[in-house]
Amino acid sequence: MKPHYQIPIADCGEPLLPIPLEAFTVVQPHPYQSLGAPYGERSPYYLRQSVLARLLAAQQTLQTVRPGWQIQIFDAYRPLAVQQFMVDYTYQQLLTAEGYDPAQLSSTVQQRLLARVYQFWAPPSDNPQMPPPHSTGAAVDVTLTDATQQPVPMGSDIDELSERSYPNYFATRPDAGHYHANRTLLAEIMGQAGFCQHPNEWWHFSYGDQLWAWLRQPSAAVTARYGAAAKR
């Protein structure tokens, strides 16, 4: 069990609100919907009320320091069924990439591959005390676009299963310092708005969920503001 799941949840009851997509740039088509993830009639572009307000504040800060630049939204609210779909999809992609036959897979190899998946993907748990961050409506995956609306280079793709996804991977690589500078800018504007960054993912930020609470005060008695959310 990941340590942040020890954080208790006292959901504040804030609603999920639609993200005003005209205020940002957006990855289109939505990457998981295009794979067939089961959103049904639901849109992924929802966040809890205070989380959305903080994302808009981060956008304002960015445009102050980099006029014309925008936050680009990759993913936001994720129903549990979508979380399960993407975990399964990522696992299958990893099997294919490493050349394994699922019918001849040993339990040791299976557990090793699943460990890699869960290093970047939260388990699709329906336990109310262990909700995946995106299923709370408190997490958002973002990057930056420049004044021409082109993606700013970050050194790795969102959702890449490698060490290059770690926020500070390029910090000690002088030949790739521009990647680190861009990641640092993203982290700074999101941090100023109150978000915490996932330790393994340069693109993932949250406010009010268990991971956010644990990252702020890992040894203190803290409480998360948001549990699993469902659009009404």
- Structural domains of the chain sorted by starting position, each given as residue range(s) with its CATH number in brackets: 3-216 (3.30.1380.10)
Closest by Cα among 47, 212, 62 to 144: 62
Nearest to 159 by CA among 37, 52, 61: 37
Residue 93 to residue 98: CA distance in whole angstroms: 9
pLDDT at 100: 86
Q: One-letter amino acid identity for 73?
A: I
Residue 219 pLDDT more than 90?
A: no
* Alpha-helical regions (H) of the chain: 49-65, 80-97, 107-120, 177-192, 210-216
Sheet holding 196-197, edge to edge: 25-26, 70-75, 139-145, 204-206, 196-197
Out of 49-58, 97-106, 196-205, which region has the weakest mean confidence (pLDDT)? 97-106
Report the distance separating Cα 16 and Cα 181, nearest Å: 32
What are the residue numbers of the active site? 201
- Amino acid 232: pLDDT: 52
How does pLDDT run across 89-127, given as a tens digit for each residue?
999 999 988 888 887 888 898 899 999 999 999 999 999
